[in-house]
Structure 1
């Protein structure tokens, strides 16, 4: 299992990326890592080069660069070279914590989309505080700001296979993120998507779900357009961080009784923090392309890098991409018919 890693992607790269890779190497005996970046910056950080190869690159795509232009101009960048390794069959998956737009561009135009899939989607895993499972997936969370009904219809199938293969959920409950649970809720786009999903019997579609119920186990796969998904994701993350900071500041500004109470509830607070820590589930996956392409948060430290590589290990081992390819190949004619139906409506 060969993983191409953009060693220069992220706020703490390459130091934390290298540390995380070594942690993953020690955990997974069947993983080999290709680190792309300037050798003089990457090699001195490696404590043990077992199953780690450094491929020298001269350029780095910075966070603020325009994505498409950067990918086109910087052919010898760590991100582009890592993506090309996957395209050429020299690696099984691609990981970066760098410029999100550039990663999406490299995934789409270098690695390439799966035949039959119109729009790959960015997929993230979030904690399920209550419900039958410990986590759920949501897509799209930012790859496509504008979407059509057929795109969301395809997201549902990709998310379904991801939940089965990576999260181990046998019959994932698929829900459509909307502004109400009734079937006739939402704008024209969401009503059309609801009707398409409700008519398909290959999915365990449970109908519309509301954003306030996401962490409470509303569904195992939440389907949405990229604009709404990104806003919902950032709102959820921001609310969780704000509440934790509010509790902490209230305790610190309180009296002795407040601090004593916090000490007695230390294990409870630790459990809450652990449940809300989405970074332990890895990165966001660009699903719908020919190999696993995974985006870590730019502020990822070594532990998150290791966890994300564990996520990639599961994807490659379970052949998630292959399962999606097989389904879309087997249902190509049906997909064309549904696409036409969606256009007509």
Structure 2
């Protein structure tokens, strides 16, 4: 945090599909909640829109960026060619200490590239990972952390072994679990299941070096359905698989409450049974509560772990509500010591990582 000011979160003002309106509304709502926000983007456009909001815009700072990176641009090439793009400037502001965290709904590959080029990796990390959380049943069981959720399409054994350590550190900071249970995502729980990658990771995490770790407990393979159960605290996979799992889960989370509500309403109207209508009315509050727990926008974004700074990645279709929740999460990220916890965990497992490199 910079001297003489309170914690400040940078928000890429031209990242989302409907930029900059969701970003501006999120910044205003965050400022009203007491968060100091710096909007990054075309200053003239942002200032004109904020002026229409009068006193609601108090507490919002502006940093100029003359252009933006489109979703279909090549990430690394665009970051090099457009250093004055909004997400690049936002990351530069973080690297220079002008803000303490960054949130962006822009091109996630470009955000990763910018973070790697301008912030660098935490010492010892081969590849950063995107972490996302799945709500568990029952409700009091907390969340399961999945990584990588999309930063690395192709991975080596060492990457997933490091993801296990990074994810365990995240789980400790986020949920207060002293020794998180770590599993490898696979198509079955039998040791012979999976791919060459997952079997290699299983071999390393089953080694005595890993079993002696006080940072996590390795429990073997976990199936996708176990992400919603109290089976493990952290699940690791490659970014391609993790991103497909995440998108499928988000679609199912949004669809099933609506499907169930329609089924209840249809059954009641067809049969014209008053009792069924009463049951549907009675179940609606509970259904709404479940829908809130499963709502992806409630989390807002996903932290990029393993880079030397607090960076939150949001979906391009993020609404102002999702961006607001991402700003709140970024504030917790910056104040919770997460980057330092990851760095310490990585340093404490150098011998395990060396084993993974030597055997695979």
- Corresponding residue number in structure 2 for 1:103: 111
* Cα deviations by residue, 1:38-62 (Å, 9 ceiling, x for unpaired): 1222123334444321112210112
Query: Displacement of 1:297 after TM fit?
Result: 1.6
2:132·2:145 contact (CA, 8 Å) conserved in 1?
yes
Distance 2:277 2:140 in 1: 34
Query: Displacement of 1:32 after TM fit?
Result: 2.6
- With over 3 angstroms needed to count, the CA separation of the structure-2 counterparts of 1:27 and 1:166, relative to structure 1, is farther
2:300·2:314 contact (CA, 8 Å) conserved in 1?
yes
Secondary structure in structure 2 of the residue aligned to 1:112: coil
1:82 aligned onto 2:99: no
- Corresponding residue number in structure 2 for 1:266: 284
Please list, as runs of the form range in 1=range in 2, the aligned pairs for 1:285-296 lying within 5 A after superposition. 285-296=303-314
1:4 aligned onto 2:17: no
1:301 aligned onto 2:319: yes
- Corresponding residue number in structure 2 for 1:92: 100
Secondary structure in structure 2 of the residue aligned to 1:234: helix
Query: Displacement of 1:27 after TM fit?
Result: 2.6
Query: Displacement of 1:314 after TM fit?
Result: 1.5
TM-score normalised by L of structure 1: 0.91
- Within the candidate set 218, 222, 235, 2:248 is matched to 235
1:33 aligned onto 2:46: no
2:158·2:357 contact (CA, 8 Å) conserved in 1?
no
1:131·1:217 contact (CA, 8 Å) conserved in 2?
no
* Cα deviations by residue, 1:210-247 (Å, 9 ceiling, x for unpaired): 11221122211111111111121122222233323322
Distance 2:96 2:330 in 1: 19
Secondary structure in structure 2 of the residue aligned to 1:34: strand
TM-score normalised by L of structure 2: 0.88
- Within the candidate set 224, 244, 255, 1:211 is matched to 224
- With over 3 angstroms needed to count, the CA separation of the structure-2 counterparts of 1:321 and 1:229, relative to structure 1, is same
- Within the candidate set 259, 263, 278, 1:246 is matched to 259
2:103·2:313 contact (CA, 8 Å) conserved in 1?
yes
* Cα deviations by residue, 1:121-166 (Å, 9 ceiling, x for unpaired): 1111221133762222100011111111111000011111111112
Residues paired across the two proteins, number: 340
Secondary structure in structure 2 of the residue aligned to 1:166: helix
Secondary structure in structure 2 of the residue aligned to 1:104: helix
- With over 3 angstroms needed to count, the CA separation of the structure-2 counterparts of 1:89 and 1:339, relative to structure 1, is farther
Distance 1:340 1:70 in 2: 32
1:338 aligned onto 2:346: no
Distance 2:261 2:19 in 1: 30
Secondary structure in structure 2 of the residue aligned to 1:9: coil
* Cα deviations by residue, 1:187-214 (Å, 9 ceiling, x for unpaired): 2211111121122022121211111221
Distance 2:344 2:89 in 1: 28
Q: Which runs of 5+ in 2 are unaligned?
A: 1-6
Secondary structure in structure 1 of the residue aligned to 2:98: coil
- Within the candidate set 177, 189, 192, 1:184 is matched to 192
* Greater CA drift, 65-74 or 257-266: 257-266
2:265·2:280 contact (CA, 8 Å) conserved in 1?
no
2:162·2:346 contact (CA, 8 Å) conserved in 1?
no
1:276 aligned onto 2:294: yes
Distance 1:39 1:115 in 2: 35
- Corresponding residue number in structure 2 for 1:155: 163
Distance 2:80 2:194 in 1: 39
1:67 aligned onto 2:39: no
- Within the candidate set 15, 19, 25, 1:13 is matched to 19
